[in-house]
Amino acid sequence: MDYILTLFAPYSFSIIEAHMAFVHLPIGFLLGSAIFDAAACLTHREDHHAHWRHTAFWLLLLGTLCAIIAATLGYFGNPFATKHNIMAQRATVHMYFGFGVVGVFLLLSCWRIIRNGRHSNRERFAYALLLLFAVALITATGYLGSRIAM
């Protein structure tokens, strides 16, 4: 009977558990932004093209905001901060990759805000390359985070 009561007892997240739960939001938003931008490149109708780009823009902004929150939770919730073992080294590498993700997506967000849709073909190509790099970086960061305790 006591076990059943503990199932409904209040549960408190540690900061690192909140990081591990929250980190899926920026991954989804940022990958979604890349997918919508790619769909905009493949669409030839102007009205559809603008909708795809608009959705990609807002997903990028939401993803960047969530990435900042996730990196902050990870930084302050790092249980290995005072340890000097292999898991601490892995967590540190993962943290630096996470800061890189935040930096790249902040750059992409600022680029989209400042240019406000007035991109030349050369700029669109450079943006697409940087976005592709950012997707690879966030994928590598997630992989490294999943391997900290292994």
The domains of the chain are located at: 12-146
pLDDT of res. 5: 58
pLDDT of res. 45: 73
Higher-confidence residue: 66 or 80? 66
pLDDT, tens only, 92-133: 999 999 999 999 999 999 998 998 877 777 888 898 899 999
Distance CA 59, CA 63 (A): 6
Rounded to the nearest 10 degrees, the angle between the axes of helix 24-42 and helix 46-77 is 160
Higher-confidence residue: 135 or 45? 135
pLDDT of res. 8: 66
Please state the pTM of the whole predicted model: 0.84
The pLDDT of 19-28, averaged and rounded, is 92
Q: Does 1 score more than 60 pLDDT?
A: no
